Copies of this chain bind each other. A is one copy, B any other.
Amino acid sequence: MRYLVHGGLVNGIRQDLYLEHGRIRRMVACDPQAALPQSDSDADPSLAGSWEIIDARGMLVLPSLVNGHAHSAMTLLRGVAEDMELMPWLQQAIWPREARLTAEDVYWGTRLAALEMLATGTTVCADMYFFPEAQAEAARDSGMRFIISYPLIDGLDESKAEAQRDACERFFSSLPDCGPRSMFTIAGHSVYATAASSWRFLARMCRERGLLLHLHLAETESEDRFCRERTGMSPARYLDALGVLGPWAFAAHCLWLDAADWDLLADRGVTVVHNPASNMKLASGPAFDWEAARSRGIRVMLGTDGAASNNSLDLFSDLKLAGLLQKHHWRDPRRAPVQDLVQAVTSAGHDFFRTGAGRLEEGAAADLVLLDLRKASMTPCHDPLANAVYAGAGAAVDTVFCDGVPLVRHGRIEGAETVLAEARTRAEKLR
């Protein structure tokens, strides 16, 4: 299918976007007052043939959003317990329920997450959870791009760790089908839940197979203390000593880092993922030091974390929060300017995960979000990007393309009813 996205605001001017084979084939300035073009374009012979027209007049076109860190199937645990301290919350509310999750639950929880993310403009999600086969199936069926990780979480138990590594090798020797848009990567949970031997294994897998490595790093003070007491090193130094840190690594949270740690991440080319809602809700630590990353040229992505600790997967909401938190924490309203924020949720992630999208230019992959600027919340539009960041844009998402396919049209997603009903039933069991 070929699509002509007509008359939207693209990079500051009204343009027609011709989408073909998952890419932006041509961009042509247009008159937004003009009538809808004929689907059989006669303006340019190279564009002959039929194009399905998507009316984007009155809409802002942006690259789609990339969720750099999520546990998608935790949608099933949304709101299961609130206002609790981290350890009781995990021990009493989360872990006992996670222990009961089946592969089918993870499938439907991931499908539910995909509905919510797509409806709010996200087409790429880096996931870390259990049952990667079920996630692969959900990724394929949802149509969006998942970066599915095979996680090594052994609780520092060497025999368990060894069995997991064997299972991981087998998994990568015969990968399940996750569809053409998604990919597999590998994950180490954290310095307190993944054994040194497994970190070495992960580092080798990344080097040998060109895999990306998803991990939690320096999320809590107790993690930092645990690591220093056990190894004499900060979590970042310790992982580096094991060979883990490199341009393949993307590390969620990164709250408890000192200047030397930041220098190390910069030197190794690590990408960091900031999760403002989850960090604030769990009171995980100091504010993320965006400037420490920015000044060192470290790539920053944003993530929602799981829906149990957010409790939303609307990344536009976290985008606003990220900006507000930087300004507030550093007592400087000039921090985290709009442009940097937009880049963190779009091009940073598309570049890191090599989707080919993240920019509105000919040849780029067609992962696009269309925001309806005619909504009250988007009116007026003195500054389209400021509206996107601060005016609640998640609720203004009208249409979303992933890989050139309109997965969301006027807020609707095909097959949503079935997913919602199944997810509801699955969640019911977890009460």
Known: A377-B116, A428-B380. A78 touches B391 (CB 8 A): yes
Q: Which of A270-284 contact B (CB under 8 A)?
A: 277, 279-283
Instruction: Give me 19 other A-B pairs in contact (C-beta within 8 A), A83-B335, A83-B338, A119-B376 excluded.
Output: A75-B379, A76-B380, A79-B382, A79-B387, A79-B391, A82-B338, A82-B383, A84-B334, A112-B376, A281-B327, A281-B390, A282-B327, A283-B332, A283-B335, A312-B390, A313-B377, A317-B392, A325-B328, A392-B394
Instruction: Name the distance in Å between A145's Cβ and chain B's nearest Cβ.
Output: 18
Chain B residues closer than 8 Å to A376, beta-carbon distance: 112, 115-116, 119, 416, 419-420
Chain B residues closer than 8 Å to A30, beta-carbon distance: none
Q: How far is the CA of A194 from the CA of B431 in the complex (A)?
A: 55
What is the chain B residue whose CB lies nearest that of A423? B379
Query: Contact string, A274-317, partner B, CB cutoff 8 A, digits 1/0?
Result: 00010111110101000000000000000000010011111001
A333 at the interface (CB under 8 A from B): yes
A427 near B380 (CB under 8 angstroms)?
yes
B382 near A80 (CB under 8 angstroms)?
yes
Residues of A in contact, count (CB < 8 Å): 72
A386 at the interface (CB under 8 A from B): yes
Residue in contact with A379 in the complex, picked from B82, B85, B427, CB distance below 8 Å: B427
A94 at the interface (CB under 8 A from B): no
Q: Which of A318-367 contact B (CB under 8 A)?
A: 320-321, 323-325, 327-328, 330-338
A84 near B379 (CB under 8 angstroms)?
no
What is the chain B residue whose CB lies nearest that of A337? B83
Chain B residues closer than 8 Å to A282, beta-carbon distance: 327, 333
Query: Contact string, A409-428, partner B, CB cutoff 8 A, digits 1/0?
Result: 00000001001100110011
Residue in contact with A85 in the complex, picked from B307, B333, B337, CB distance below 8 Å: B333
Chain B residues closer than 8 Å to A51, beta-carbon distance: none
A381 at the interface (CB under 8 A from B): yes
Q: How far is the CA of A280 from the CA of B311 in the complex (A)?
A: 21
Instruction: Name the distance in Å between A138's Cβ and chain B's nearest Cβ.
Output: 14
A331 near B379 (CB under 8 angstroms)?
no
Supply 29 A–B pairs (Cβ within 8 Å), ascending by A. Answer: A78-B387, A78-B391, A79-B380, A79-B382, A79-B390, A80-B382, A82-B383, A84-B334, A85-B332, A85-B334, A89-B333, A112-B379, A277-B320, A277-B324, A279-B328, A281-B324, A281-B327, A283-B330, A283-B333, A283-B335, A311-B387, A311-B390, A312-B377, A314-B377, A376-B416, A379-B427, A380-B428, A382-B427, A395-B395
Instruction: Name the distance in Å between A42's Cβ and chain B's nearest Cβ.
Output: 33
Chain B residues closer than 8 Å to A120, beta-carbon distance: 377
A175 at the interface (CB under 8 A from B): no
Chain B residues closer than 8 Å to A116, beta-carbon distance: 376-377
A82 near B337 (CB under 8 angstroms)?
yes
